[in-house]
Structure 1
Amino acid sequence: MDRTFDAVILAGGRSSRLSGTPKALLRLEGKSLLLRTLEAVCRAQRIAVVGPGELAGELATFRRGAGAPEAVLTREDPPFAGPAAGIAAGVAALDQGSGKEHDGGRPRGAGLTLILACDMPAAGRLPEQLLDAVAAAPSARLWLPVDAGGRIQPLACCADSRALREALARFTAADLQGLSVRKLIADLPAARFPLAAAATDDVDTWEDAGRFGIARPAP
């Protein structure tokens, strides 16, 4: 089965439990969490990062890498409108990609879209696991990992690109504000699969950060 994909990386949260320090810019082993996430999806055809302008430097660093795919920075409108609005902004940015062929007036991108939050330091193998899940359940339109605690992880999933756009089209821009990702993708035929590792463990608090060896930035 075709394993080509685009990626939407969500990096626009308030980081309220980190005193406003952007999660995307926290550093682990010398690299920001955003750069680590970008490198995890480096085989994507195109990448849209949804977050504030201060992340532009990390994208520039990623783009300097050999063979890096097209990567653009965009923002949900209004800012902090939530992850569903962020996904919509990311998909819209992918659709506006420059220099791409079009099919029937719509941009021709990859058949799959990976959706990842930027705050999962161990997500390096997650794209491979998602693509393996697609191969194992090709009739699904959404592939959802389930962590060791039995929790579904909608911010670490893979969706059929066409089905994702159809799901987004069911909501107005106003509807998307504050909408949960679970509601956005609720109607997509889904395949759930257990994670091979705790790849979706995320950083919400400084205690979480400490477990990964991430130090608070200097004042």
Structure 2
Amino acid sequence: MDFDAMVLAGGKSSRLGGVPKAQLRYGGATLLQRALAATRGAGRVVVVGPDPGTLPDGTLTAREDPSFAGPAAAIAAGLLALGHSQSLSPNHSAWVLVMACDMPLAAAAVPVLLQELSAHPESEGALSISSDGRKQPLLGIYRVSALQREVQAVSEEGGLANAAVFRLLARLDLLAVPVPEGSTDDVDTWDDAAALGVDGDLP
């Protein structure tokens, strides 16, 4: 299945004292590097957040407007950067992987999501369900046209800034896909980092 990808890396990391999550390390790589590795197979990739200056060649960058306006605004910025502001051209994928940068084991979930979507191409996307039953919308693959429609709707209904991502996705016909244990575990606090073995020393 052809898909593009966006990695959301523009949060304030408030519960980490402002230390940027993207630059924390796991297994010898930064969380951003691991997130980019998890997009393997994507046609085009955009990082929505500050540019660390070390992105692979060809990686696009964008910022949500205003900065730190939350994941719904970041998704809109990512779509624009990927060239999805209007109808798809022949070079544009119909699907986009959306993932936050703070899930060091997310790569295990991506092929599971792709396989499920391949079996149900009529759906509008697939989001991850953790082993304890929690939905993780920031590890999902969505139909671009459906995201465009909802970005426009939420923009008109009060704006994207600080809008809940579940609100953005609420009207989509999504598959809820159980993914490998640990693949949705994220780093919100230093306790999370310690539990996952994420290194707080920046590179």
What secondary structure does 2:142 align onto? strand
CA distance in 1, matches of 2:175, 2:107: 21
- 5 Å-filtered alignment, 1:1-219, equals 3-53=1-51, 55-57=52-54, 59=55, 62-63=56-57, 70-95=58-83, 108-172=91-155, 175-217=159-201
What secondary structure does 2:47 align onto? strand
Residues 169, 209 of structure 1: CA spacing in aligned structure 2 closer, same or farther, 3 A cutoff? same
Q: Percent identity?
A: 41
Deviation at 1:197, TM superposition (A): 2.5
Conserved in 2, the CA contact under 8 Å of 1:7 and 1:41?
yes
Deviation at 1:215, TM superposition (A): 2.4
What secondary structure does 2:76 align onto? helix
CA distance in 2, matches of 1:83, 1:31: 24
CA distance in 2, matches of 1:91, 1:169: 12
Question: Unmatched 5+ residue regions in structure 1?
Answer: 64-69, 98-102
Deviation at 1:104, TM superposition (A): 6.4
- Normalised by the length of structure 1, the TM-score is 0.85
Partner residue in 2 for 1:67:
none
CA distance in 2, matches of 1:18, 1:162: 35
Deviation at 1:96, TM superposition (A): 7.2
- Normalised by the length of structure 2, the TM-score is 0.91
The Cα offsets for residues 88-140 of structure 1, whole Å up to 9 and x where unpaired, read as: 0000000079xxxxx96857411111100000011122221110110232221
Conserved in 2, the CA contact under 8 Å of 1:56 and 1:73?
no
Conserved in 1, the CA contact under 8 Å of 2:109 and 2:128?
no
Residues 30, 104 of structure 1: CA spacing in aligned structure 2 closer, same or farther, 3 A cutoff? closer
CA distance in 2, matches of 1:105, 1:183: 24
Question: Unmatched 5+ residue regions in structure 2?
Answer: none
Conserved in 2, the CA contact under 8 Å of 1:95 and 1:106?
no
Give me the CA root mean square deviation: 2.0
Q: What is the identity, as a one-letter code, of the residue corresponding to 1:187?
A: R
